[in-house]
Amino acid sequence: MGEQGDRVGQQVGNYLLLRYLDKGSFAEVYLGEHRYLELPVAIKLLHVRMQPEAHAAFQREARVIAHVQHPHIVQVRDYGIEEQTPYLVMEYLPNGTLRTRHPRGTRLFLEQIIFRQASSPCGPMRTCSPEQIATSRSRPISIMRS
DSSP assignment of 85-113 equals EEEEEEE--TT-BHHHHS-TT----HHHH
Domain range annotation of the chain: 11-142
DSSP 47: S
- Would you give per-residue pLDDT tens digits along the chain (146 residues)? 456 668 999 999 999 999 999 888 899 999 999 999 999 999 999 999 999 999 999 999 999 989 988 877 889 999 999 999 999 999 998 877 667 777 778 776 666 555 554 455 455 445 555 554 444 444 444 544 44
Edge-first strand listing for the sheet containing 85-91: 11-12, 15-23, 27-34, 40-46, 85-91, 76-82
The reported pLDDT for the residue numbered 62 is 92
Size (the chain), residues: 146
What class has domain 11-142? alpha beta
CB atoms within 10 A of CB 74: 22
What's the pTM? 0.71
- pLDDT score, position 19: 95
